[in-house]
Amino acid sequence: MKKSKLWFSIFDFSFDYKGDEPNFINNNFSWSGEFERNWSDIKEELNYYLRSHQPDAYFNKTMVNTSDTWKTFSLKWWDIEFSSRYRFFPKTMGLVRKYPEILSVSFNQLESDGKILPHSGDTNAIFRCHLGIEIPESLPKTGLRVRDELKSWEEGKWLIFMDAYQHEAFNLSERRRIILVLDVLRPEFSSKRKIVIAVVLTSLFLQKRAQRFKFLYKLPQWIIKLIVIPLCPLAYIKMRMVNFFKVY
């Protein structure tokens, strides 16, 4: 696999990343085995949390077949820390803190008959990593497609894939599917960490605004670039301030 150039979907209106990375990545990372060995503890912490809390519907309603079918909550989101939740997840966060390359940590729930529609990620700078927590069935009922390749989740096992490629998830079973999701910075982009975080946070901010202001989807690409460039440093500064004051 040759060295890849840094790619962001917000600067590429084709939303079609053309890399030579495989769809699914071999599970040979130092952190991955440790998470798998502690899978039961992670699941126990999640179940305890869910006794008194409910995950929120994902903000981008255009990405699902039915509103509220995809629910999620974060412990860390592109380096934004949701510290008020950490007391519920001491063992999970103990693992996360050991590996600074982990940029995001969340739990995702996909309801019965739920589909996350085909889409591409925000950047090729990360590996998107799914750890099966509660998996109702395997293919063909429940699974993940990355480009033209389909795989099933397994409880206590990772599915690691290139998020920049077009992908979709589906749960056609009669029970919910829950996974732990990590975004892990690829080693070759470690020196670009601040840039990656700033651009992706800006992209997600604009995606949220576009849910209300539809005209943003119709702007020429050069205008989007003019908007993004000054917003990026502000997004990074806001992330640092949010963490400093423990807003979440």
pLDDT band at 172; cut points 50, 70, 90: very high
Residue 38: CB atoms within 10 Å: 17
Same domain, 78 and 119: yes
Same domain, 134 and 67: yes
- Domain end call among 189, 210, 227: 189
Q: Does residue 98 fall inside a structural domain?
A: yes
pLDDT tens track for 3-46? 789 999 999 878 789 999 999 999 999 999 999 999 999 999 99
Question: Which contiguous run of DSSP H or E holds residue 193?
Answer: helix 193-212
Flag whether pLDDT at 165 surpasses 70: yes
Q: Does residue 179 fall inside a structural domain?
A: yes
Of residues 213 and 58, more confidence is placed in 58
What whole-number distance in Å separates Cα of residue 242 and Cα of residue 233?
14
pLDDT tens track for 54-74? 999 998 888 999 989 999 999
Q: How much is the pLDDT for 4? A: 85
Same domain, 73 and 97: yes
What is the count of structural domains for the chain?
Answer: 2
What whole-number distance in Å separates Cα of residue 64 and Cα of residue 170?
10
- Domain at 131, CATH number: 2.60.120.330
| 169 in Cβ contact with 79 (< 8 Å) | no
- Domain end call among 146, 173, 189: 189
Flag whether pLDDT at 193 surpasses 80: yes
Question: Which contiguous run of DSSP H or E holds residue 74?
Answer: strand 70-77
Flag whether pLDDT at 53 surpasses 90: yes
Same domain, 65 and 77: yes
Residue of 106, 100, 101, 125 whose CA lies nearest to 200: 125
DSSP track, 95-136: HHHT-TTEEEEEEEEE-TTEEEEEE--SBSSEEEEEEEEE--
Q: How much is the pLDDT for 2? A: 60
Same domain, 128 and 174: yes
Cα dihedral 82/86/46/167 (nearest 10): 30
Q: At 126, which amino acid appears?
A: I
Of residues 168 and 222, more confidence is placed in 168
Same domain, 171 and 239: no
- CA angle, corner 19, sides to 232 and 117, nearest 5? 75
pLDDT tens track for 121-158? 999 999 999 999 999 999 999 999 999 999 999 999 99
Flag whether pLDDT at 77 surpasses 80: yes
Q: Does residue 4 fall inside a structural domain?
A: no
Same domain, 217 and 94: no
Q: How much is the pLDDT for 205? A: 93
Flag whether pLDDT at 1 surpasses 60: no
Same domain, 175 and 204: no
| 59 in Cβ contact with 211 (< 8 Å) | yes
Which residue in the block uniquely carries the two structure tokens 């798998």? Answer: 36
Same domain, 217 and 180: no
Exposure string for 144-179, b = 16+ CB within 10 A, e = fewer: bbbeeeebbbeebebbbbbbbbebebbbebeebbbb
Same domain, 89 and 208: no
Residue of 152, 132, 136, 156 whose CA lies nearest to 144: 152
Q: Does residue 92 fall inside a structural domain?
A: yes
Q: Domain of 34?
A: 18-189
Same domain, 22 and 95: yes
